Amino acid sequence: MLVPGKIQHIICTGNLCIKEVQDYLKTLCPDLHITRGEYDEETRYPETKTLTIGQFKLGLCHGHQVIPWGDLDSLAMLQRQLDVDILVTGHTHQFTAYKHEGGVVINPGSATGAYSSITYDVNPSFVLMDIDGLRVVVYVYELIDGEVKVDKIDFKKTTTATHSAH
């Protein structure tokens, strides 16, 4: 499913741990953004990152810095701090997606289903964002019981960004 050429950017929250994984991700897409997780051997990744794709501002952070881990309000604080429309964090190894205060907070979960100290049941998952103008469609791919399940969420950005449009 993950074939090169279809994806234009990869946003990775971190904890790739070794360089080989980074190389693999690079084969899928040359534009790779990574923030540093607590187990990353590569020390030169930043803690947080912001980038603009289309009309959206995206923020990236591993999430272990935000305490309590996975708490929406705290993450919202980070979102406001970074001033982004979409905040992508990880660390919890669980997929969540919130629409909050005119922005979206996405946790794509663990792509490999790696062990997590906070949950028992970790399903490998990742998120595909289709950014089209002022609209983003979020496709969630999860591997549940050996099958790939797909879900999608629509999000429209409003200029005022005071409330979610959907």
- 154 φ, ψ (degrees, to nearest 5): -95, 145
* Rounded least distance, CB 24 to another protein, Å: 16
Q: Which stretch binds another protein (CB under 8 A): 38-46, 60-68, 77-85, 132-140?
A: 132-140
x-marked contacts with another protein along 100-129 as a string, rule CB under 8 A: ----------------------------x-
Q: Where are the beta strands (DSSP E) in 23-112?
A: 32-34, 48-53, 56-61, 86-88, 95-100, 103-108
Q: Does the protein bind another protein through residue 83 (CB under 8 A)? A: no
Among 19, 26, 149, 156, binds another protein (CB under 8 A): 149
Nearer Cβ to another protein, position 46 or 54?
54
Strand partners, 155: 136
Question: With binding defined as CB under 8 A, does residue 2 bind another protein?
Answer: yes
Q: In what order do the strands lie in the sheet with 48-53?
A: 48-53, 56-61, 86-88, 103-108, 95-100
The minimum distance between CB 108 and another protein, in angstroms, equals 14
Among 24, 39, 115, 139, binds another protein (CB under 8 A): 139
Give CA–CA dist 26/33, Å, rounded: 10
Dist. CA 17–CA 22, nearest whole Å:
9
Provide the edge-to-edge strand list for the sheet that holds 135-144: 125-132, 135-144, 147-156
Instruction: Write out the residues near another protein by the rule CB under 8 A.
Output: 1-3, 6, 128, 130, 132, 135, 137, 139, 141, 148-152
